[in-house]
Amino acid sequence: MDRKRSAAAAGQAWHIYRETLEPDAPGFWERVRAVPRMLKAVLRGQYKGMSFGTLGLLALGLVYIISPVDAIPDVIPVVGIADDTGLALWLASVLVKSAGDFVAWERGGRPSVIVGEPVD
């Protein structure tokens, strides 16, 4: 992973961390505990804050990290691990950010919007 991507990943992680410290924002561990509930709600069609496409990309990313087949083999000392690390950081940041949105949605009484209806 080059320096610009490393800096971007670190910046995104820092932004999400700061978001968890804001007043009335869900904390980090509350977000982590909310991930299984969020995934169930997405799969059941109850929560529209995460698309099936994003969920599919997260699943593919997890398969890529676990899989022994990599775009850059892990036997290459630093670069081989860097691609997996970058992807893991992206997965974690997407899950933590989405879980925060999900917790806010739960706290708000689980509002739903029907397409075509006026929204106040």
Q: Tell me the C-alpha distance between 47 and 44, whole Å.
A: 8
Residue with tokens 């971007």: 8
> What does the pLDDT look like over 24-76, one tens digit per residue?
778 888 888 999 999 999 999 888 889 899 999 999 989 988 887 777 776 77
pTM attached to this predicted model: 0.70
> What does the pLDDT look like over 76-107, one tens digit per residue?
777 777 778 888 888 888 888 899 889 988 88
| Consecutive H or E run containing 100 | helix 79-107
User: Which among 37, 2, 13 has a CA at the least distance from the CA of 90?
Assistant: 13
